């Protein structure tokens, strides 16, 4: 088993699963996490083989579970990096949504996309400060920079996460703790393609590279940020959007 160990949240499927597998190929031992998809997470552990290093359950909608999640993973071995991947998306009209529906979405998206990652970062960085450093990568979104109609809560949660990256990078640099983000745009996943046939052509027309991102694009950028090749970087969020948006 590698001496480098990373905890990847939301690693049972989608981008998180690809990040876990890619990091394993890069020599990391991977501590996996799931909220509900236990069967899929067990499948990932089997695929990781000797690179698997623990499987942990925690509900990202309950931020109070984040410190115990980190402590449980840490009890099974040193942790050198965290990838805050787990997230949720919801559309809602800011004006026309019902008050109860809006508040339900607000609480859920802010808990999963912002408060839980922040609490996990606090637990991790407290430990990293005592062990001589560590790295964290937060999976944000293009809409954290650009905004998106009918998704204001999601966009706001990702924008806040991006600014935690910037501020914490400055604050924690003396402790040799690197904080990063990636900001994917359209990513070609099975979930995205479901029911999207009519929109695919118009979406791809907005992408100068002529295709949507795939999960390995996100995984490769994450692996770079966790590598020694990014030793002098911190506070940056890498855009993965096919040259479709700059800021």
Q: pLDDT value at position 190?
A: 58
Specify if 63 maps to a domain: yes
Specify if 186 maps to a domain: yes
Whether this prediction's pTM lies above 0.75 is answered by yes
DSSP strand E in the chain: where?
Answer: 5-8, 29-34, 52-57, 81-84, 134-139, 177-184, 237-240
Specify if 82 maps to a domain: yes
Q: pLDDT value at position 199?
A: 77
Structurally, the chain folds into a number of domains equal to 1
Specify if 244 maps to a domain: no
Nearest to 139 by CA among 83, 97, 197: 83
Q: Are 177 and 170 in contact (CB under 8 A)?
A: no
Specify if 66 maps to a domain: yes
**How many whole angstroms separate alpha carbon 133 and alpha carbon 86?**
23
Over residues 48-64, the pLDDT tens digits come to 999 999 999 999 999 99
Q: Residue 144 sits in a domain of what CATH number?
A: 3.40.50.720
Residues labelled catalytic = 154
* Those residues with Cβ within 8 angstroms of residue 70's Cβ, 6 or more apart along the chain or in another chain: 7, 79, 82, 120, 123, 124, 127
Specify if 48 maps to a domain: yes
Query: What is the overall mean pLDDT for the chain?
Result: 95
Specify if 148 maps to a domain: yes
Average pLDDT of 67-96?
97
What does the block give as tokens for 60? 């990202």
**pLDDT over 70, % of the chain:** 96
**How many whole angstroms separate alpha carbon 223 and alpha carbon 144?**
21
Please report how many Cα atoms fall inside a 13 Å half-sphere around the Cα of residue 133, on the Cβ side.
13
What is the layout of strands, in order, in the sheet containing 52-57? 52-57, 29-34, 5-8, 81-84, 134-139, 177-184, 237-240
Domain region containing 181: 5-239
Average pLDDT of 148-175?
97
**How many whole angstroms separate alpha carbon 50 and alpha carbon 43?**
13
* Those residues with Cβ within 8 angstroms of residue 14's Cβ, 6 or more apart along the chain or in another chain: 189, 191, 215
Over residues 180-205, the pLDDT tens digits come to 999 999 898 755 555 566 778 888 99
End-to-end Cα distance, the chain: 41
Specify if 245 maps to a domain: no
């Amino acid at each position: 088993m590698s001496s480098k160990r990373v905890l990847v949240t939301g690693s049972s499927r989608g981008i998180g699963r690809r990040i876990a597998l890619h990091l394993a190929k890069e020599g990391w031992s991977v501590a996996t996490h799931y909220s509900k998809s236990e069967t899929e997470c067990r499948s990932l552990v089997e695929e990781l083989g000797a690179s698997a290093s623990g499987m942990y359950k925690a509900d990202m909608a309950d931020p109070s579970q984040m410190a115990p999640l980190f402590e449980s993973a840490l009890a099974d071995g040193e942790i050198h990096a965290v990838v805050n991947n787990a997230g949720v998306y919801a559309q809602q009209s800011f004006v026309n949504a019902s008050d109860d529906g809006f508040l339900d979405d607000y609480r859920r998206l802010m808990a999963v996309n912002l408060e839980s990652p922040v609490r996990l970062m606090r637990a991790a960085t407290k430990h990293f400060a005592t062990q001589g450093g560590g790295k964290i990568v937060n999976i944000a979104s293009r809409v954290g920079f650009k905004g998106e109609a009918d998704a204001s809560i999601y966009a706001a949660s990702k924008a806040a996460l991006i600014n935690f990256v910037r501020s914490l990078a400055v604050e924690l640099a003396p402790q040799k703790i690197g904080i990063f983000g990636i900001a994917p745009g359209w990513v070609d996943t099975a979930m995205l393609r479901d029911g999207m046939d009519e929109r695919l052509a118009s979406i791809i027309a907005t992408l100068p590279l002529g295709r949507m991102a795939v999960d390995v694009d996100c995984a490769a950028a994450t692996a770079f940020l966790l590598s020694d090749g990014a030793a002098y970087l911190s506070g940056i969020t890498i855009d993965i959007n096919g040259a479709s948006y700059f800021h």
